[in-house]
Amino acid sequence: RAGVAFEDEAGVAALAATLPARFEGGRVLLGEGADCDVTDEIRSEACSVGASRVAVLAAVRTALLDRQRDYRAAPGLVAEGRDMGSVIFPDAGLKVFLTASAEARAERRYKQLIEKGLAANMESLLKDLQERDARDAARPVAPLLKLPDAALLDTTQRNVDEAVAFVLDLVGQVAKSPG
């Protein structure tokens, strides 16, 4: 949207450091004006691929780190991302490493896109996911990894309700534990 190439590390970092971002009523708003609501756009395949491409840029990650941490406020925060528990919130009281096979994720993504009336190709979705996983696991800054203190939630064979029940059970365990 801003006309900055994904490979322009300084340009993307400057944008990341200064773009007004806020959350209101379950919506994600970037910038100002009538078209600042990017709630649906950030869930697009193009945005996912772009996010993975800029996530390897150290200056971008540095520009975002304090901004991301500033969103944590009482009574707590649910944060989603491939480095939320390892880099952004390493002291989180509960960390869940959510995973599923690339095939299961591609199938879910395919169904989401079709339900939205968007064109989708299962083979290209699977290829894109596999490339993103490899890129994120190999990046030198904040690689994708499961931490020893993170609970593993593999949703390959679980539906949304089962995954939510698993996480709620973990939340209950943390709430009951001393300290």
Confidence of residue 143 (pLDDT cuts 50, 70, 90): confident
Task: Specify whether the CB–CB gap between 149 and 92 falls below 8 A.
Answer: no
pTM, full prediction: 0.77
The structural domains of the chain, with segments of one domain joined by +, span 1-71
- DSSP letter at 108 equals H
Please list the residues that pair with 23 across neighbouring strands. 28
Could you read off the pLDDT of 155-168 as tens digits, one per residue? 999 999 999 999 99
Could you read off the pLDDT of 24-62 as tens digits, one per residue? 888 889 878 777 899 888 888 788 888 888 888 889 989
Q: What mean pLDDT value characterizes the chain?
A: 89
Task: Specify whether the CB–CB gap between 157 and 108 falls below 8 A.
Answer: no
Confidence of residue 72 (pLDDT cuts 50, 70, 90): confident
Average pLDDT over residues 125-135: 92
